[in-house]
């Protein structure tokens, strides 16, 4: 390899390794030691130590008294300037608050992100059923209400690509057979909403609808409820109004 190629490629390699380190942090790994980061990324300890130190100096990671690293405030600050945070969350929050007041249930707002449902916002209360979804977290498309909506409104090619991969099955009720999922997604498009029953967590169900802009589904809003409170007609009507409100707010920005 020529010196020029080594020099030009080095920053890229370092950036990729830094992204690997930052990618280790998720809902299950909010605090990690240097050793754990090295193990997860399979990077040499010396390399990991050097890159983690640089990330810490830049505010992208912070080190606690327990010697564990956590995501730093610099990442949060940068994320606030992303169109997703600036427009969607800001536009949707008043409607989500009203939706929670009307239903008293878990309210979720999600977008498609690298083949998963990314939960942009989530409102919960004491009456709400416990769930594993959280703002900033990812869950599968085929087992969640908002996820099914996001998947159903993708192109046929994108849907087939998703169905071609092994699909996780969190509960016995999770639909993982491609033909059954195709039928389910077709129903979502036909009806304009999705329904899940114990497909992500036992005892709960969800209903979600698309948020449309210029004929394209840009996000999904949904509620997660206990199965005995899954009033489809009432919740679909309330959610449809909420989605229209959020879409109008987005158009107004």
171-206 pLDDT, tens per residue? Answer: 999 999 999 999 999 999 999 999 999 999 889 999
- Given pLDDT bands bounded at 50, 70 and 90, which one contains residue 110? very high
C-alpha 15/C-alpha 10 separation (Å) is 9
End-to-end CA distance of the chain: 50
Q: Which pLDDT band, with edges at 50, 70 and 90, does 2 fall under? A: very low
Query: Is the predicted pLDDT of residue 130 greater than 60, yes or no?
Result: no
Beta bridge partners, 71, equal 61
Distance CA 125, CA 128 (A): 5
Q: What residues pair up with 210 in beta bridges, in sequence order?
A: 220
How far, rounded to the nearest angstrom, does the alpha carbon of residue 171 sit from its chain's CA centroid? 19
pLDDT band at 87 (very low <50, low <70, confident <90, very high): confident
Helix-helix angle 178-191:156-163, to 10 degrees: 140
From 73, 132, 127, 82, select the one nearest 105 (Cα to Cα). 127
Confidence band for 6, pLDDT divided at 50, 70 and 90:
very low
What one-character DSSP code corresponds to residue 129?
A: P
């Amino acid at each position: 390899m020529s010196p020029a190629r080594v020099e030009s490629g080095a920053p890229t390699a370092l950036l990729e390794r830094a992204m690997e380190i930052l990618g280790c942090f998720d809902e299950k790994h909010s605090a990690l030691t240097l050793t754990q980061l090295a193990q997860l990324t399979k990077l040499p300890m010396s390399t990991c130590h050097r890159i983690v130190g640089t990330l810490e100096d830049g505010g992208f990671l912070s080190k606690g008294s327990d010697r564990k690293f956590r995501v730093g405030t610099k990442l949060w600050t940068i994320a606030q300037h992303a169109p997703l945070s600036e427009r969607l969350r800001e536009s949707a929050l008043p409607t989500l608050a009203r939706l929670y007041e009307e239903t008293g249930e878990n309210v979720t707002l999600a977008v498609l992100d690298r083949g998963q449902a990314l939960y942009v916002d989530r409102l919960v209360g004491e009456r709400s059923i416990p769930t594993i979804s959280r703002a900033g977290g990812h869950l599968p498309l085929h087992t969640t209400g908002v996820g099914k909506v996001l998947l159903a409104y993708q192109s046929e090619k994108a849907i087939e690509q998703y169905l071609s991969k092994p699909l996780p099955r969190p509960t016995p009720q999770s639909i993982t057979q491609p033909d059954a999922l195709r039928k389910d997604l077709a129903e979502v498009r036909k009806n304009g909403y999705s329904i899940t029953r114990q497909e992500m967590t036992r005892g709960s169900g969800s209903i979600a609808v698309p948020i449309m802009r210029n004929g394209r589904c840009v996000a999904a809003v949904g509620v997660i409820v206990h199965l005995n409170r899954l009033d489809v007609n009432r919740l679909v009507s309330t959610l449809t109004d909420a989605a229209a409100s959020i879409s109008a707010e987005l158009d107004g920005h």
